[in-house]
Amino acid sequence: MSTPPRILLTGFTPFGNEDVNPSWEAVRVLDGTPIGGHVVVARLLPTAFAESQRELASLMDELEPAILLGVGQAGGRSRLSIERVAINVQDARIPDNAGAQPIDVAVVADGPAAYFSTLPIKAMLKALLAAGLPAEVSNTAGTFVCNHVAYLMLHLAASRRDVRAGFIHIPYLPEQAARFPNAPSMNRDDVVRALSIALEVAATRRGDDHFGAGTLD
């Protein structure tokens, strides 16, 4: 029996002053889950520029995934943010977990200025909204380690035949948001359900839907 193609689903270690990162709390639940004819392989990435790059390159060689989906924390966002684009810049407002703080440095020297997601982001959005889950298309993944990993995933996928990649930001967990007045949050079970839906669409759809989901600011 042939091995089903793999989905590499990644989350991050806690960073800043946090003791938990909701991305890994949700991602790890899906490890080994069959979705859309694929099997999910969940892996934890360090919230550090250089270390995450080395780990991601190693995982690509080890797993040879057909789909890559990075998941990261975006405290302050109230919706699941399906990222449209990753840009070729590191501009860290705070040091990463290894103490590095690159400013105005390329993710990949001489790489393209940006990569667009190669997953069906509008179809994913439509499915999430239909399931009653708050979601949006986002046009910025920031300039910290999340964008760094999103760009690297797309860069690595671009050099391999028939490999696709994308990134989703998720809100704080309720226990994190409780420390900040009026901070939005989403419980882990809803995030897990959302990721399952998004991955099902990504695994079974090539073409995307076409409808307005942009912003005015």
CATH number at residue 83: 3.40.630.20
Residue 213 lies in a domain: no
Number of domains in the chain: 1
Question: Can you give the residue range of the structural domain that contains 158?
Answer: 6-204
Active site residue 146: yes
Single out the catalytic residue among 83, 136, 148, 200: 83
**Is pLDDT of 10 > 70?**
yes
Residue 128 lies in a domain: yes
The mean of the pLDDT values for the chain is: 96
**In terms of Cα–Cα distance, which of 148, 151, 189, 143 is closest to 170?**
189
Q: What is the mean pLDDT of residues 189-207?
A: 97
Single out the catalytic residue among 38, 146, 148, 155: 146
Residue 90 lies in a domain: yes
Residue 88 lies in a domain: yes
User: What six digits make up the tokens of 128?
Assistant: 């999430």
Torsion over CA: 76, 121, 135, 13 (sign): negative
**Is pLDDT of 74 > 70?**
yes
Active site residue 51: no
CA distance 45 to 63: 15
Q: What is the mean pLDDT of residues 113-140?
A: 98
Confidence category of residue 215, pLDDT binned at 50, 70, 90: confident
Residue 212 lies in a domain: no
Residue 177 lies in a domain: yes
Residue 214 lies in a domain: no
